């Protein structure tokens, strides 16, 4: 570490979409950051701009194995996991292992170092919800043996283990339930709606909408999300907190909006809805507003324009 008085933050999954933005935020807030990633879905390009920064180091490591970090550690932010349907359906065992063994190893490090631990959980713990919008008190409607269960149950287990370490070992923990997020550094082919729609529209290909497109998501720009996560990290709140934008939109309307913003001549085509795909998704962010004084501020259109420009730059 360049400065022994700097707080030391460890970010697992630090080369991923959210993890890399989190590294930027923590460094901007005065932390020394150790990013750990096995690059199974992360990309070294996401953190290449930090190489040479005296407040950053990268460790290529699989966190389902023993984690060794020298010196003191103040914060551990556990963001390692495949996070898109294409990834966790392609990597089901790895997804389960990082949610279980990886969480166990990261919590063990937090216990050993006396560090504050923040778990990146997900709105997927609510499954295909029967309550709308979804408050943190809702227990969810999840198919544990369905294809998506490998991700949903890995995150539900990770939450249970985090709370067990908090109650039994006294580890200082935080749990953020992340709703759909978009922005620069998403992988173009990661299978989620916005990168799929944008990449297809920019190429002039048909834009693929699943089902009849009536299923909804609430999409949050990445800078807003990272701000909310940081506020939770430095708060005193130990119960789960939803972070996401309440701006709900159907997938068909989102596809139409992206075609308009890209000035594409793409047509919309419909394909069969994947099994157990949630029909609605919107966070109840009352707790985030009350406890963290946080609310998403980026409007969807300017956020999408920033994201479109990023993808356009990746295609040239």
- So which residues are the catalytic ones? 151
214 C-beta neighbours (distance < 10 Å), count: 13
Q: Could you give the residue ranges of the DSSP H alpha helices within the chain?
A: 17-28, 85-90, 92-97, 103-113, 149-169, 193-203, 222-233, 251-262, 286-287, 300-315
Q: For residue 141, which phi and psi values (nearest 5 degrees)?
A: -135, 85
Nearest to 292 by CA among 252, 239, 214: 239
Tell me which H or E stretch contains 177.
strand 173-178
Tell me which H or E stretch contains 56.
strand 56-60
Please state, in angstroms and rounded to a whole number, the distance separating the CA atoms of residues 120 and 85.
17
Structure tokens belonging to residue 12: 């697992």
Give Cβ neighbours of residue 56 (< 8 Å, ≥ 6 apart): 23, 27, 32, 33, 35, 47, 50
Please state, in angstroms and rounded to a whole number, the distance separating the CA atoms of residues 103 and 147.
21
Nearest to 17 by CA among 229, 225, 226, 184: 184
Cα of 205 vs its chain's centroid, Å: 28
CB 284 within 8 A of CB 133: yes
54 C-beta neighbours (distance < 10 Å), count: 11
């Amino acid at each position: 570490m360049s400065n022994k008085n700097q707080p030391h933050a460890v970010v697992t999954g630090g080369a991923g979409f959210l993890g890399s933005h989190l590294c930027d935020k923590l460094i901007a807030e005065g932390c020394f950051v150790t990013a750990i990633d096995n690059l199974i879905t992360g990309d070294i390009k996401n953190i290449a701009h930090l190489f040479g920064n005296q407040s950053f180091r990268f460790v290529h490591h699989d966190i389902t194995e023993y984690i060794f970090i020298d010196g003191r550690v103040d914060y551990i932010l556990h963001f390692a996991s495949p996070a898109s349907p294409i990834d966790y359906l392609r990597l089901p065992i790895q997804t389960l292992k990082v949610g279980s063994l990886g969480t166990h190893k990261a919590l063990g490090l937090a216990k050993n170092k006396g560090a504050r631990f923040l778990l990146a959980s997900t709105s997927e713990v609510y499954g295909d919800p029967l309550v709308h919008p979804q408050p943190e008190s809702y227990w969810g409607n999840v198919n544990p043996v369905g294809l998506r269960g490998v991700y949903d149950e890995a995150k539900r287990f990770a939450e249970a283990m985090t709370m067990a370490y908090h109650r039994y070992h006294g580890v200082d923990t935080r749990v953020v339930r992340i709703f759909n997020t978009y922005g620069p550094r998403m992988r173009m082919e990661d299978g989620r709606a916005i990168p799929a729609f944008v990449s297809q529209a920019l190429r002039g290909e048909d834009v693929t909408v699943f089902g009849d497109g009536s299923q909804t998501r609430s999409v949050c720009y990445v800078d807003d999300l990272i701000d909310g996560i940081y506020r939770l990290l430095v708060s005193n709140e130990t119960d789960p907190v939803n972070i996401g934008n309440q701006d709900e939109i159907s997938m068909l309307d989102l596809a139409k909006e992206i075609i308009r913003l890209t000035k594409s001549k793409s047509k919309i085509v419909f394909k069969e809805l994947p099994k157990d795909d949630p029909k609605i998704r919107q966070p109840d962010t009352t707790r985030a507003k009350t406890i963290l004084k946080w609310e998403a501020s980026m409007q969807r259109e300017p956020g999408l324009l920033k994201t479109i420009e990023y993808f356009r730059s990746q295609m040239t």
